[in-house]
Amino acid sequence: MSEKPAFACLKPAGLCTCQGLTPLGNKRHVLILQHPQEQDVTLGTACIAQGILSNVTVRIGLSWPNLDKALGRGVQPKRWGVLYLGARPDQKFTEPLTAVNRKGEPLPDQGAVLRNLDGIVVLDGTWSQAKALWWRNAWLLKLQRLVLAPAAPSRYGKLRKEPRRDSLSTLEAAALCLTTLENQPDLFTRAMVPFEEMLKRHRPA
């Protein structure tokens, strides 16, 4: 495997955790659609994801004509998933990652559905910004909807206000998804190392 090009997160020096990042070797591609207002957020994690994931693309904007244009190459939409925002808070899922239909109901034969995915799309921004991205890109409806059920709240804690307990940072969401899809139990833990280091530096001693 060729080495990943040098990466710089452009965060303030005190919060930069780029030094020593080791790519995680994920085979499935992660496409991060970032709301323009999120790109300058100091504690944003899309930049960390871009540095630590081996196969990742970050696009900044509000809308794209289709998945091919957003990704920059031709792919089959039916073989891509998108982390879905519409799951009801009262729905309980027993697995960390569940493929659902348009009614939000788990699909049968989860293993086969998830194995057939070549990549995932993650929306980066606040809850309202992510919803804006969802509604401005109708082609997302053609992708397989995926719902996460994290075992613990986001590591942000009180640093970023989230509307729901199951809200995760972009890095956490992508890593949890990949951990399941690629059956790499330690991928999530490894991905959290630079994120936790950034938060540690930000919090007052």
Three-state SS string across 140-193, please?
HHHCEEEEECCCCCCCCCCCCCCCCCCCCCHHHHHHHHHHHHCCCCCHHHHHHH
Taking the domains of the chain in order of start, what are their residue ranges? 29-202
Q: Give the relative orientation of helices 187-202 and 170-181 as an angle to the nearest 10 degrees.
A: 170
Question: What's this model's pTM, rounded to 2 decimal places?
Answer: 0.89
How many whole angstroms separate alpha carbon 101 and alpha carbon 201? 41
Q: What pLDDT shows up at residue 21?
A: 76
pLDDT digits (tens, 9 = 90+) for 121-169: 999 998 899 999 999 999 999 999 999 988 888 877 776 666 566 679 9
Give the residues across from 100 on adjacent strands. 106, 145
Of 73, 87, 85, nearest in space to 31 by CA: 73
Q: What pLDDT shows up at residue 161?
A: 66
Is residue 173 scored above 50 in pLDDT? yes
Mean pLDDT of the chain: 87
